[in-house]
């Protein structure tokens, strides 16, 4: 799979949360619903809650909730916040070889595809994603 597990889980979690976007979700309730390793997921949540799209509420009856509408949260941002978007947008053939001066063997082929991908990721919001999702949560 192209994306890491971390990115995969982050997107699945936020997409699920976006189905009832004003609700406060406990980590437990999410883990029970989605099939994601408990502790690994907790760490992702902690990281996500340092972003500007969800926040955490500690203590009893705590959890996570959106602080920004899922209409305005795009996949590119989510990926960037958990993995760093450069992980996927870098040159295909290693070490930042690609620049206007020196281009690697796949430069031209990859550039178009990468732009298409980035374009999709930065225009697809969580709300958008829900519409296209037949997945049962």
Partner DNA sequence: ATAAAATACTACAACAAAGTAGCATATAAA
Partner DNA sequence: TTTATATGCTACTTTGTTGTAGTATTTTAT
Binding residues (CB under 8 A) for a second copy: these are 1-3, 5, 8, 11-12, 15, 75, 87-88, 90-94, 97, 101-110, 112-113, 116-117, 120-121, 124, 128-130, 132-136
Which residues ranging from 69 to 128 are in contact with DNA (CB under 7 A)? none
N residues, the chain = 137
121 makes contact, choosing from DNA, a second copy, none, with CB < 5 to 8 Å by partner type, with: a second copy
Q: Cα–Cα distance between 106 and 127 in angstroms, integer?
A: 34
Does residue 65 interact with DNA by CB under 7 A? no
Q: Which secondary-structure segment (H or E) carries 46?
A: helix 38-48
Among residues 19, 46, 72, 99, the one that binds DNA under rule CB under 7 A: 46
Contact 16, 126 (CB under 8 A): no
| Position 6 contacts DNA (CB under 7 A) | yes
Considering the complex, state which of residue 62 and residue 64 has its C-beta at the smaller distance from a second copy.
Answer: 64
CA dihedral 123, 68, 5, 40 (to 10 degrees): 180
CA–CA distance, 109 with 76 (Å, rounded to integer): 22
The verdict on 28 binding DNA (CB under 7 A) reads yes
């Amino acid at each position: 799979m192209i994306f890491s597990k971390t990115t995969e889980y982050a997107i699945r979690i936020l997409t699920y949360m976006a189905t009832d976007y004003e609700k406060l979700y406990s980590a437990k309730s999410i883990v029970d619903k989605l099939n994601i390793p408990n502790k690994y997921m907790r760490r992702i949540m902690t990281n996500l809650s340092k972003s500007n799209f969800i926040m955490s509420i500690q203590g009893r009856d705590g959890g996570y909730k959106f602080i920004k509408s899922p209409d305005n949260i795009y996949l590119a941002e989510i990926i960037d916040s958990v993995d760093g978007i450069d992980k996927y947008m870098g040159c295909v053939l290693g070490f930042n070889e690609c620049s206007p001066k020196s281009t690697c063997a796949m430069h031209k082929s990859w550039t178009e595809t990468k732009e298409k991908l980035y374009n999709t990721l930065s225009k697809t919001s969580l709300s958008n994603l829900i519409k296209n999702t037949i997945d049962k949560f």
